[in-house]
Amino acid sequence: MTQTHIFDVIIVGGGGAGLMAALNASKSAKTAVISKLYPSRSHTGAAQGGIGAALGNLEEDQPEWHTYDTVKGSDWLGDQDAIEFMCAEAVQAVYDLEQMGLPFSRTPDGRIAQRPFGGHTNNLTGKPVRRSCYAADRTGHMILQTLYQQCIKNETQFFDEFEVLDLILAEGAVAGVVALEMATGELHIFRARAIIFATGGYGRVWEITSNAYAYTGDGVAVTLRRGIPAQDMEFFQFHPTGIHKLGILITEAVRGEGGILINDQGERFMQRYAPHVRDLASRDVVSRAMYLEMREGRGIKGGRYLYLDVRPETVNRCAEEDGRTRPDGQPYRVTGEEILSKIPDIADFCRTYLGVDPITQPMPVQPTAHYAMGGIPTDLYGRVIVDAEKRVLPGLYAAGECACVSVHGANRLGTNSLVDLVVFGKHAGLDAARYATEAALPELPADALEFSRQQLDQLRNGDGSEQVAALTHEMQAVMFEDVGVFRTRQGLESAVEKIRQLRQRYAQGVRVKDTGKVFNTELVNAWELGNLLDLALVTAVSARERSESRGAHAREDFPERDDARWMKHTLAWLKDDEIRLDYKPVTITRFPPKERVY
């Protein structure tokens, strides 16, 4: 028996963006959060190094500099009105988090502690600036916990372990979502005036990834199937420092605290690629440098990894070379104990997974798939945009990693994911609640469950010739090889073809063997692979068409940025096996494009 629930605002996803939206929407609208995980399990909790905001607690800083750094980091693809808005709001957002109880690390005078991060600079001197507000290397954990705590205080209504399968549209507006209750296997209909997708990223498309198993791009896939485009999907960030083979994130804060990357010859190679800020260049720049080092045989023992070295003797030697100082002007010198106190979880990961103590040994690292700059197109208030003319779909919102405002453009700066989800989660929540007070509750179409049932039935009725796990590995290998840090037309064409074949094999061959209803995780995993395959195809096709290099999209056959032809956002629609592309202009307000040098 299908249960039907009615709310003003439904939020899909219980991570940072979803919880911020819930806290704000529930001030004036009847709100619920539907999450496939218990909210405290969300991937926001894996963010480590900090949230960027120009508080200026340790040295001069200003939101304008944060804005410019973000524009530059985005390789001028970010929309500057949105970036300016986000960076200005970031300061109050951090104070708000502190008010909610977030246990930030503190400066000696009791203020929120801040550390340097890649691409964040003093715009006058060009030197790294301390802008990342942090709680040791657990900033995301603290944000997620704090927001969840506030939701408990606020008595927010949660539907935990419900997987949203479909978006219901009626008369050109949203009418609700369909969700599978994992504990019972029953479908539920959630009717609502406004729906906010806050479902996170899709990094499980790649073989080496820092992303959680849950990061299967559900929200973007669900909206694509309902005719809503995905924007800028060719831009996916590879974080320079994932643990070798496992992909587990080693925060940029390790380099912020003075760690450096070295090759097999013991050389600090980032000096050659980014002479001004070296190891604290933007992530796309560092990941490419690492690939070039490995390609030229300077990976460790000739292999596909390099060393990240934060041993105190190394840090102190480099700090001396660089003339780095403390805020009080004293030379920057550290002890092993001080480093451990700044990155305790990283030390724990290294010991657990590598048997390495980062204070006495360097860490083997390689670039790891990390963050989707692209996603569901929105405006500043989280309202979903459905075409190049910026038409809004009434009642539909997206925020956080699944959305593309776009504030990250072609490459996101470290710390800005947390800024994004707090700022735009809040505004999506506020605007959805405002909309819900004005809008009528649309009637459900007669066949509201039909499409969800079709999708699940297909997975139960395939011919059984394919295994979900095997298809997943094949997809991840193709995407890592051909749609990774460096790309070519040939590789992208081959990837598109292979992903098309995988989608066919998936549609015909997958047959879920568990016929039970209770926690049928095999069924859920199979459905999620369908989402990943859809997004892999959209990503590969969007990348194949963009014949330039910009930010995280590095084409070896088109090594230069091409503003004349490509200063524009990609919009991609998926219908069956076909992808249609269109483009919309980038908003440029204060910062005309120029060469991007670190």
Least distance (Å) between residue 285 CB and another protein: 26
Tokens encoding 77: 């693809």
Part of the chain binding another protein (CB under 8 A), chosen from 34-42, 120-128, 297-305, 590-598:
34-42
Q: Which of 82, 93, 198, 214 binds another protein (CB under 8 A)?
A: 214
Size of the site for another protein (CB under 8 A): 63
Residue (of 314, 307, 310, 309) closest to 263 by Cα position: 307
Q: Which of 1, 109, 328, 329 binds another protein (CB under 8 A)?
A: 109
* Beta-carbon-side half-sphere exposure of residue 212 (alpha carbons within 13 Å): 16
Provide CB contacts within 8 A for 561, sequence distance 6+: 75, 76, 548, 549, 550, 596
Least distance (Å) between residue 326 CB and another protein: 15
Pairing assessment for the beta strands 363-372 and 306-309 based on DSSP bridges: antiparallel
Residue (of 373, 62, 413, 91) closest to 232 by Cα position: 373
What CA–CA distance (Å, rounded) separates 461 from 522?
A: 14
Q: 111 vs 500, which CB is nearer to another protein? A: 111
What CA–CA distance (Å, rounded) separates 246 from 3?
A: 41
* 100 scored as a contact of another protein (CB under 8 A): yes
Contact letters for another protein, residues 51-70 (x by CB under 8 A): ----x---------------
User: Are residues 413 and 117 in contact, defined by beta-carbon separation less than 8 angstroms?
Assistant: yes
Binding to another protein in span 441-480, by CB under 8 A: 467-470, 472
What is the Cα gyration radius of the chain? 23
Least distance (Å) between residue 90 CB and another protein: 14
* 545 scored as a contact of another protein (CB under 8 A): no
Q: 489 vs 511, which CB is nearer to another protein? A: 511
Least distance (Å) between residue 150 CB and another protein: 6
Q: Which of 62, 95, 332, 500 binds another protein (CB under 8 A)?
A: 95
Which amino acid, one-letter code, is at 415?
Answer: T
Residue (of 130, 122, 112, 123) closest to 257 by Cα position: 130
Least distance (Å) between residue 107 CB and another protein: 8
* 129 scored as a contact of another protein (CB under 8 A): no
Q: Which of 2, 4, 27, 38 binds another protein (CB under 8 A)?
A: 38
Q: Which of 31, 35, 42, 570 binds another protein (CB under 8 A)?
A: 42
Q: 108 vs 592, which CB is nearer to another protein? A: 108
Q: 101 vs 266, which CB is nearer to another protein? A: 101
What CA–CA distance (Å, rounded) separates 305 from 299?
A: 5
* 551 scored as a contact of another protein (CB under 8 A): no
Secondary structure of residue 105 in the 3-state scheme: coil
What CA–CA distance (Å, rounded) separates 255 from 279?
A: 7
User: Are residues 80 and 590 in contact, defined by beta-carbon separation less than 8 angstroms?
Assistant: yes
Provide CB contacts within 8 A for 225, sequence distance 6+: 166, 451, 534, 574
Least distance (Å) between residue 371 CB and another protein: 15
* 353 scored as a contact of another protein (CB under 8 A): yes
Cα 550 vs. chain centroid, distance in angstroms?
18
What CA–CA distance (Å, rounded) separates 97 from 428?
A: 17
Contact letters for another protein, residues 318-347 (x by CB under 8 A): ---------------------------x--
Which amino acid, one-letter code, is at 577?
Answer: D
81: exposed, middle or buried (C-beta count within 10 Å: 0-12, 13-18, 19+)?
middle
What CA–CA distance (Å, rounded) separates 190 from 371?
A: 29
* 45 scored as a contact of another protein (CB under 8 A): yes
550 is catalytic: no
User: Are residues 137 and 343 in contact, defined by beta-carbon separation less than 8 angstroms?
Assistant: yes
DSSP secondary structure letter of residue 358: T
Secondary structure of residue 52 in the 3-state scheme: strand
Q: Which of 60, 296, 338, 348 binds another protein (CB under 8 A)?
A: 348
Q: Which of 1, 110, 576, 594 binds another protein (CB under 8 A)?
A: 110
Q: 110 vs 323, which CB is nearer to another protein? A: 110
* 104 scored as a contact of another protein (CB under 8 A): yes
* 518 scored as a contact of another protein (CB under 8 A): yes
What CA–CA distance (Å, rounded) separates 232 from 411?
A: 11
* 283 scored as a contact of another protein (CB under 8 A): no
Q: Which of 332, 519, 573, 591 binds another protein (CB under 8 A)?
A: 519
Applying CB under 8 A, the residues found at the interface with another protein are 37-38, 40-43, 45-46, 55, 92, 94-95, 98-101, 103-112, 135-136, 138, 141-142, 145, 149-150, 152-153, 183, 212-214, 246, 248, 345, 348-349, 352-353, 467-470, 472, 512-514, 516-522, 525
Catalytic site residues?
Answer: 283
